[in-house]
Amino acid sequence: MAVEMKNESNGGIDLYALPEGCIANALSLTSPRDACRLSLVASTFRSAALCDEVWERFFPADYRDVLCRSAEGIELLRSAISMKQLYLHLCDKPVLIDGGTKSFSLEKSSGKKCYMLAARDLTIVWSDTPRYWKWIPLPESRFSVVAELLDVCWLEIRGKIRTSMLSPETNYAAYLVFTSKSRIYGFEYQPAEAEVGISGQEGKKQAVHLDPDGAQRPGHQIMPRWRRGLFGHHLAGRMIYQETLHADQDVQNPRQRGDGWMEVELGEIFIKEGQDVDLEMSLMEVKGGNWKSGLIVEGIEIRPKEGK
């Protein structure tokens, strides 16, 4: 952002001489990133950039209502020294809401809303059967428990959130957040199918790899079903054939997050102004016939798409 200083030859305005309130009002019409940059221009800008009135404008309109959905959020509202401190806290430390089934945070450069649906807030087929899934606590998770995949052939995970909870006129993406204790089995050669879309409408489908090295592995020949009984079902599953994916095929690969977890994008969608419908996200792998294990699911995060 260019700042014009006073110049006798062109009659420019001396911005340094403007009242702090006027500068603060101007800064509130920019963005959190611009406000921080402009605070380095001069002491008057630095003082104005600290005003609560500036940072209040960067919050979503309903942020207080969201924070009041948990004791942690209410305490944060009471204890925050300044609006800037509260803003930065919500960017760096997600707050648990709705009984610990969701977390709420802000995207730092824009102030737009981000949510993560905990594994307990998702629909995971067979998750109530101890033979197939186990609910465990992990110190590194923001939630009290996560879902550990023990052994399933049919993998199906679904999540849902109202679009009115998200920031309007924003392109969002959904990400499965996961990890493993040692290694993830059953996804080496078979990608899963992800879909993100409005409830009742067909969303865009795309293939995703859950095994970090899966995209680089060569295919294997099909093992006839009658021979699979001679081997453990994990070995049989890994020997199922998968044709080599074309380089231009839209396949999402997992990546490491800053908090130590892995994530893979399930899809994206644009949230319109005034829209209030169910946004649904899903991940399925039911076609390969191979057994899967080792996946630990923390949840599904919905946040503004980077660069859009």
Q: Are residues 163 and 295 in the same domain?
A: yes
Q: What CATH number did the domain enclosing 280 receive?
A: 2.60.120.260
Q: Please indicate whether residue 122 or residue 290 has the higher confidence score (pLDDT).
A: 122
Q: Are residues 175 and 270 in the same domain?
A: yes
Q: Are residues 169 and 266 in the same domain?
A: yes
In single-letter form, the type of residue at position 69 comes to R
Q: Are residues 146 and 214 in the same domain?
A: yes
Q: Please indicate whether residue 217 or residue 245 has the higher confidence score (pLDDT).
A: 217
Task: Give the domain range for residue 50.
Answer: 12-58
Q: In this predicted model, what pLDDT tens digit does every residue of 248-264 receive, in sequence order?
A: 457 899 999 999 999 99
Q: Are residues 291 and 164 in the same domain?
A: yes
Q: Are residues 50 and 117 in the same domain?
A: no
Nearest one of 191, 185, 308 to 254, comparing CA atoms: 191
Q: In this predicted model, what pLDDT tens digit does every residue of 202-231 receive, in sequence order?
A: 888 999 999 876 555 544 433 333 334 444
pLDDT of residue 247 exceeding 80, the answer is: no
Q: Are residues 47 and 117 in the same domain?
A: no
Q: Evaluate whether residue 81 is within a structural domain.
A: no
Q: Evaluate whether residue 7 is within a structural domain.
A: no
Q: Evaluate whether residue 300 is within a structural domain.
A: yes
Q: Please indicate whether residue 308 or residue 254 has the higher confidence score (pLDDT).
A: 254
Q: Please indicate whether residue 44 or residue 2 has the higher confidence score (pLDDT).
A: 44
How many Å apart are CA 110 and CA 272, to the nearest integer?
17
Q: Are residues 252 and 118 in the same domain?
A: yes
Strand (E) or helix (H) holding 240 = none
Nearest one of 308, 304, 256 to 108, comparing CA atoms: 304
Q: Evaluate whether residue 89 is within a structural domain.
A: no
Q: Evaluate whether residue 151 is within a structural domain.
A: yes
Domain count within the chain: 2
pLDDT of residue 10 exceeding 60, the answer is: no
Q: Please indicate whether residue 225 or residue 195 has the higher confidence score (pLDDT).
A: 195
Q: Are residues 166 and 240 in the same domain?
A: yes
Using an 8 Å Cβ cutoff, are 100 and 118 in contact? Answer: yes
Q: What is the pLDDT of residue 187?
A: 86
How many Å apart are CA 204 and CA 150, to the nearest integer?
29
Q: Are residues 123 and 242 in the same domain?
A: yes
Least confident interval from 9-23, 26-40, 62-76, 275-289: 9-23
Q: Evaluate whether residue 244 is within a structural domain.
A: yes
Using an 8 Å Cβ cutoff, are 183 and 294 in contact? Answer: yes
pLDDT of residue 176 exceeding 60, the answer is: yes
Q: What residues contact residue 78 under an 8 Å CB cut-off, 6+ apart?
A: none
